[in-house]
Structure 1
Amino acid sequence: MESLVESLRHAKVVPVLRRTDGAEAEAAARTLLDAGLPVVELTANTPDWAGALGRLRSAYPRAVLGVGTVCAEGDARAACDAGADFLVSPWPVPDVRAYAAARGVPLCEGGFTPGELAAAARHGVAKLFPAHAVGPSYLKSVMAVLPAGSLVMPTGGIKLADVPAWLAAGAIAVGVGSDLDRLPQVWHELGAA
């Protein structure tokens, strides 16, 4: 988990690649990784995501590769077998949590309420989802009551222009799935490079 936390702090933005097929997701990931971004997340509801992940793992052995929208143990298993460095679930999935713990793979578990986020943060990095429904001020308020050291990554409907506000509110990193062609430029502007 410490390695993932360090990578997320450095990356500040995690591109979430939800695409029509694995080849498209792989191409987008290659573009972002070649631009210097250290972390990318494919989603388990993208067709052939596991194949794309395996090819990316071979081509980019030092990249931090995650799989999101992991809602079943089978997807967690496929992600780990393909070389995922971390898993992301949109809500608590006990089978996924147990599998990730058994494999020693960090899990970013989703939550929305302060109680859900506190519970998720006990297992690693909590994913605030859907973040666009509440905004950075909500995260700032929640961070004030979460146990010290809690880590939260907001995801879902966040625009690149809003990333600095989320980081200022206490996010360890921000998951972004749109406007990714501008991400390398914004990433450098954030001082992440």
Structure 2
Amino acid sequence: MDATDRLLNALAAQRLLPVLRSADPAAAADRTRRLLDAGCRAVELTTSTPDWAEALAALKAEGRGLLGVGTISTAEQAESAVRAGADFLVTPFPAPAVRPVAAEAGVVLIEGGFTPGEIADAAGRGPAKVFPAHVGGPRFLSSLRAVLPDAVLIPTGGISLAEAPSYLKAGALAVGIGSGLPEDPDELADVFRAG
């Protein structure tokens, strides 16, 4: 199984992709560990967290889960993420400079887009992030699925945990959630229990 299949299988099983933004890298690392302990298989850290590369490298040394870096917009950020051990990279919008870095490293790229053209372009290379998804909502995602039936779409941005099922029903592989995941370990485990 290649890297893309491993990531897509993990996302299909957990249906949500936690997107961690934190002012504190230690807090981001701790939250990642709690998510993995609860059965989450893939977590996205972001470049908006200070010292994110060091936090990622420390987490990767523990050898658990698929860990990616989001809010990647430059080749330099992508190279830092690859050096730190990222399993996947996520951009918020089309990022041509990131594509060759991901390809050369064999790291999965989830490229972002908002317009149908941007999303179709990204989906032609791999999984596509629909961002900011809350602007269009589930109906926008349904419209995209109608013209891109084979696309792997991951809507992210402004989506609450309660709204996630609507996006999944509209055809999302998984939904990026930046906040609102439960803190209680048992409740968190329920969220990531494979269906």
Q: Percent identity?
A: 51
Letter in 1 for 2:118: E
TM-score when normalising by structure 1: 0.93
Q: How does 1:38-187 map to 2 (within 5 A)?
A: 38-59=41-62, 61-146=63-148, 148-181=149-182, 185=187
Runs of 4 or more, structure 1, over 3 Å off, are none
User: Would you say the 8 A contact 1:50–1:82 is kept in 2?
Assistant: yes
Q: Is the partner of 1:6 in helix, strand or coil?
A: helix
Structure 1 residues 160-179: Cα deviation after superposition (integer angstroms, max 9, x where no partner) = 00111111100010000111
> Matched residues in 1 for 2:192 and 2:57: separation?
30
Structure 1 residues 55-103: Cα deviation after superposition (integer angstroms, max 9, x where no partner) = 11112x1401010000111111111111111000011111101110111
User: Would you say the 8 A contact 1:72–1:93 is kept in 2?
Assistant: yes
User: Would you say the 8 A contact 1:160–1:186 is kept in 2?
Assistant: no
> Matched residues in 2 for 1:188 and 1:21: separation?
26
Letter in 1 for 2:151: S
**Cα shift at 1:3:** 1.7
Report how many residues are paired: 191
Corresponding position of 2:23: 20
TM-score when normalising by structure 2: 0.92
**Cα shift at 1:22:** 1.1
User: Would you say the 8 A contact 2:39–2:189 is kept in 1?
Assistant: no
> Matched residues in 2 for 1:151 and 1:187: separation?
25
**Cα shift at 1:187:** 6.3
> Matched residues in 2 for 1:29 and 1:177: separation?
13
User: Would you say the 8 A contact 1:21–1:49 is kept in 2?
Assistant: no
Letter in 2 for 1:125: P
**Cα shift at 1:18:** 0.6
